Structure 1
Amino acid sequence: MTITAVANPCATPTRDWSSPPRVRAPKLVQGVEFAACRRRAMRNWIKRHGRIFDINVPFFGRCVVVSDPILVRAVCTASAEQLHNVAPNLSNWFGPGSMFGLDGSRHRARRRLLAPAFHGQRLESYEKVIVAETMRESANWPEGEEFRILEPMNRITLNVILLTIFGADGAELEELRAIVPPYMRLGQLVAFVPAPPSRLRRRSPWGRLDEFRKAFDGIVCALIARAGADSALGERTDILALLVRTGMAPLDICDELLTLIGAGHETTASALGWAFERLRRHPDVLAELVREVDEGGSDFRRATVVELLRVRTVIDVAGRRVCAPEFDLGGWRIPQDRAVLVRIADLHENPEIFPHPERFDPHRFRGTRPPAAWLPFGGGARRCIGAEFAIAEIDIVLRTVLQNFHIQTDAAADEKSHFRGISHTPKLGGRLVVNRRR
């Protein structure tokens, strides 16, 4: 007698989970492409495999790369019990007390502590500082001669974040102005690279980084001690005072302040460099911005900032790591400890979301909120805590420069992107020619 199995109508249907398609190339080859020619490699891989695929690269190992907007949203909204910060991450560089090194409840608590310093009325209080630093830096700009705008933007944004963190200028901040730029330039190159054994460290780039870090910690620990002894500590509004009042360990405070300084000025300066690079080549956008500035408006300028951060994405990847036994992403199942990399740049270049994505067209955002696929600051619980601060700073610097200078436009070829290890900047430094408005 033959017995025929009958499906149980009440049983939960099984789903055929599988892994994303894999890039078939040696690990070292994939690593070189990922590091040295990422944009071209990603376009080729997307064309071949679609908007989710698996790569294998040095340091990060097996990674799932995602640029499909629905899947990206699932990554950004996943709980801390499913996804942690990617490893390795910037805590390798900034230290274990950095927000980058925290996950779960500790990460949420640190964000709650720092968030008020970068939102609401506190943003308005920083405007005078940003204007003053822009005017001070631009006082000696050459007229009628081409120069690189990137370095002045770096100095402006560094001074702004230092004053925001420490509250007042002084000899210590002058020392930090000398230490931070070379530390940032070198640190970006090795941020995700494992450090060598201690016996080799002194004669390697990490040895030089250790020297910078020792000097930084010495200065900041002295400022922490001074703040702790300040009878007016409870009334101070600077970020250093905020952290000292919590009783955090001094070295953890150093880690977090270095994070805020590094993340708070390099990326913003890069975006400003791209802003002026774009305006030189788009006289119609520039003319409309100048008209609006002279009339006291801001809507088109804000739209320009949003479009700039899309068309010239400074941070092109945001990463997570699967901490649950597995993470279901669309029709795919991602195993524990696998990295998930959101390709922000490819998301921003998706023509189904942003028609004619190659165009620099601020009108696409005029009078509208950016879509969920606009992610220059990442998304979800790990979205950059200083996002609104950065947008406001770019807006204020642009306004101040346009109020005081004419920018010459021409048909110069677009500057190519230069990858510094973390951020993408104009390769030629955002070359510009200006004249003062009389």
Structure 2
Amino acid sequence: MTNAAVTTPETVTPGGPPPAVPLPRPVQMVLMAGFRRWYLRNAIKRYGSVFAINVPFFGRSVVVADPALARQVFLASTDDLINVQPNLSRIFGPGSVFALDGSEHRKRRKLLAPPFHGQSIKNYEKVIEEETLRETASWPEHTEFATLEPMNRVTLNVILRTVFGADGAELDYLREIIPPWAKLGSRMATLPEPSFSTGRYSPWGRLQSFRRNFDRTVFTLIDQAEADPRFEERTDILSLLLRSTYEDGTPMSRQDVSDELLTLLGAGHETTASTLAWVFERLRRHPEVLARLVGENDRGETNEYRQAFLQEVQRHRTVIDFSGRHVLAPHFDLGPWRIPHGYTVMIAIANVHANADVFPDPQRFDPERFLGTRTPTAWIPFGGGTRRCIGAAFANVEMDVVLRTVLAHFTIETDNAPDEKVHFRGIAFTPKAGGKITVRRRV
């Protein structure tokens, strides 16, 4: 980091702006794009847990790595802070929950909530187990292989089946077109969209072509669902959304349904798959943790330790490392700082998870820290507040069932291999080698 003069937390006037990183904007862009984890760690050491940066796309921003201040951001009024601008609605569509704020956002969240709570999620466990068994049936024994892509297939098939309820030609088509879209969309999500046409073969043109094909397929599936004589009895997410209405009795438009389904498919499988790849990467290197998980699983005990393990994976190997808000009010007071209108507030999730006051010895991988205690409010892999990931409970059940099923059918070999490095895939952080493991079948 540069030694140029800069205000520090000790010299800032109360109610003034936080200290700013004095590097040129293009340099900050390169650091955020290619070396974000390293950049933020060093900036926190130099400027404290709240500091200002200026980067293309998001513009003038304030990074927050303090757990208490992060909570203040998440609990702020939606009159003061709205969703980060621009956001993933550029990829998912204007009818996505990402595009909505205020009362419209609350109404949509209420409409989306039923498929992701209670018995609805319980009904999906069988699908998750079936897809895990289907994928793992071809796993090689005694040969190292990466788990990231197999987990991507599992989570994609799970979300497709739970969203649409059954297999068929349309789902086969979606299985074909969604993975390349997700890969391209992840890379384009934080790049500015040109104001002019870039042609059908450009990245933006390819995204538009995908969207037309996706909408056409979803509209066909909507027609099939509504024509089903048992439509009122169906429990798939598509049918639940089609039957749901706002308080005034109006349903979601077909386009809004398509936007929301794309949001669920896009946001609901790749991040979970990335976490599962880290699950296996961690197990390979922690034999005592693996042995305890297997024992709990084999004895048919409650999943207390498995849940603690999954929480620690998400803390120790955070997949989504920031959650953003946009200052809508004339200013937003955050602790001693005053953040002006138009700024972006970035919660540095991975850095909050590394806070030694909340998580002692944060570099140590230790599921014990989540046993017999209430989950700290600083544990925020799904964000927080009114914009906390609506699929958090679904993702948790999915990871739990996948891990439970794999442990029941395979022995994972452990060794002293170096930790896999963190690799940034555009939105999610994954194991660079794909979470490699070696297994043998249990008899």
Shorter-chain TM-score range: over 0.9
Alignment correspondent of 2:378 = 373
Could you tell me which amino acid in structure 1 is paired with residue 61 of structure 2?
Answer: C
Residues 161-212 of structure 1 deviation map (CA, whole Å, 9 limit, x = unaligned): 1111111111111110001100000000001222224432424211111222
Measured in 2, the distance between the counterparts of 1:316 and 1:215 equals: 31
CA contact (8 A) 1:164 1:238 kept: yes
Matched with 1:4 is none
SS in 2 for 1:265: helix
Cα RMSD after superposing both structures: 1.1
- What does residue 327 of structure 2 align with? 322
Q: In 1, are the aligned partners of 2:198 and 2:204 still within 8 Å (CA)? A: no
* Residue pair 2:200, 2:209 contacting (<8 A) in 1 also: no
Measure how far apart 1:230 and its partner are. 3.2
Provide the rounded CA distance (Å) in 1 between the counterparts of 2:271 and 2:82.
Answer: 23
Aligned to 1:407: 412
1:220 aligns with: 218
Q: Separation in 2 of the partners of 1:357 and 1:328?
A: 29
Alpha-carbon separation, structure 2, partners of 1:78 and 1:199:
38
> What are the equivalent positions in structure 2 for 1:202-213 lying under 5 Å apart?
202-213=200-211
SS at 2:197's partner residue? helix
Q: Within 5 A, what are the aligned runs for 1:226-305?
A: 226-245=224-243, 246=245, 247-297=251-301, 298-305=303-310
Q: Unpaired runs of 5+ in structure 1?
A: 1-14
Cα distance between partner residues in 1 of 2:190 and 2:139: 36
Instruction: Compute the TM-score of the two structures, normalised by the length of structure 2.
Output: 0.94
SS of 1:200's equivalent in the other structure is coil
Q: Which residue of 2 aligns with 1:49?
A: 47
> Do 1:195 and 1:201's aligned partners in 2 also have CA atoms closer than 8 Å?
no
**Number of aligned residues:** 424
Find the aligned partners of 1:363 and 1:17 in 2 and give their Cα distance: 40
Distance in 2, matches of 1:31 and 1:79, equals: 30
Q: Is the 8 Å Cα contact of residues 92 and 192 (structure 1) preserved in structure 2?
A: no
CA distance in 1, matches of 2:59, 2:194: 18
Between the aligned partners of 1:197 and 1:333, the Cα distance in structure 2 is: 33
Q: Which amino acid aligns with 1:391?
A: N
For 2:418 and 2:432, how far apart are their aligned partners in 1? 12
Q: Is contact 1:313–1:424 with CA below 8 Å preserved after alignment? A: yes
Q: Distance in 1 between matches of 2:201 and 2:155?
A: 32
Deviation for aligned residue 1:335: 1.1
Shift of 1:16: 4.2
**Is 1:351 aligned with 2:356?**
yes
Q: Which amino acid aligns with 2:380?
A: L
* Contact persistence 2:409–2:441 (CA under 8 A): yes
Q: Secondary structure at the match of 1:62?
A: strand
Give the TM-score, by structure 1 length: 0.95
**Structure 2: any 5+ residue segments left out of the alignment?**
1-12, 246-250
Structure 1 CA distance, aligned partners of 2:367 and 2:20?
A: 37
Q: Which residue of 1 aligns with 2:6?
A: none
Classify the secondary structure of the residue corresponding to 1:33: helix
